[in-house]
């Protein structure tokens, strides 16, 4: 069996659970996602100017909310928005008004790459926790699979939203 075929076979056996809280405690997951979001350059002058001009826009909260929602299997914009009312971990972090499903959809469309990165980070944290890897480096092939899983999860949300809009 060729190396590429073995790799493809192993990849087909690896699956991120639909709800990664099977691998990591939800409170720990949110804490890790917040740390990842805080590692971004929030002092960029253009971003600071934009946030100053738009005080009701809270991208840090939206990034955490949406990546957490995707990680626990809440992919539809309405489900993500509902987390603000039914998930105690999210309710305690709300800044300003909870986002509407439309705001979630727009944020996903405008910040897809950043959400994909953050969700993949969440999957890495869950994987490290589940397999007790500590801070071990995740191999590139597995990192690629986690990024693909993040992309797939975001696409599921997009498709679910489109199917609801089509009703």
The answer to whether 36 and 118 have CB atoms below 8 angstroms apart is yes
Q: What is the pLDDT of residues 110-148, one digit of tens each?
A: 999 999 999 999 999 999 999 999 988 999 999 999 999
Beta strand segments in the chain, E: none
Q: Which of 4-18, 26-40, 41-55 has the highest mean pLDDT?
A: 26-40
DSSP state of 98: P
How far apart CA 13 and CA 34 sit, in angstroms, is 30
Read off the tokens for 87.
Answer: 């998930």
User: What gap in Å lies between CA 55 and CA 125, rounded to an integer?
Assistant: 31
């Amino acid at each position: 069996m060729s190396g590429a075929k073995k790799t493809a076979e192993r990849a087909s056996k690896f699956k991120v659970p639909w709800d990664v809280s099977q691998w990591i405690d939800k409170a720990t997951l949110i804490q890790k996602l917040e740390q990842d979001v805080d590692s971004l350059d929030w002092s960029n002058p253009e971003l600071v100017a934009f946030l100053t001009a738009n005080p009701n826009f809270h991208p840090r909260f939206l990034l955490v909310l949406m990546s957490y929602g995707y990680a626990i299997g809440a992919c539809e914009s309405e489900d993500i928005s509902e987390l603000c009312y039914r998930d105690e971990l999210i309710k305690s972090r709300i800044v300003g008004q909870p986002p509407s499903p439309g705001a979630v959809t727009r944020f996903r469309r405008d910040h897809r790459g950043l959400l994909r990165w953050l969700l993949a980070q969440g999957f890495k944290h869950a994987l490290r926790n589940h397999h007790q890897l500590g801070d071990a480096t995740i191999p590139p092939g597995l990192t690629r699979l986690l990024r693909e899983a993040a992309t797939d999860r975001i696409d599921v949300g997009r498709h679910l939203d489109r199917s609801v809009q089509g009703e």
